[in-house]
Amino acid sequence: MEEISIEQTIGEVGTKSININSGSGGMSDVEAGIEFIYHMREHLLDIGVATVYGIVVYSLVLYVTKKIKG
């Protein structure tokens, strides 16, 4: 396991330390993105309904503003 340690002293504020463990078993950004997309499949109906609702509300706002101006 490789560890990276970064320390910085900032005047009167104090010292800031950052420790990074590359072998910590964490998930990379690519793996997290793939997992997010995989789990998103379970919510396709929710996403579809929310999209249709958003389009309907947007259309109603455009219609009302057109009626008010014209």
Coil, helix or strand at residue 2: coil
Q: Which residues are CB-neighbours of 47 under 8 A, at least 6 positions away?
A: 40
CA distances from 69 to 16, 26, 55, 56 (A): 58, 56, 21, 20
- Residues 10-59 have pLDDT tens digits of 877 788 887 777 655 667 788 888 888 888 888 899 999 999 999 999 99
- Global confidence as pTM: 0.48
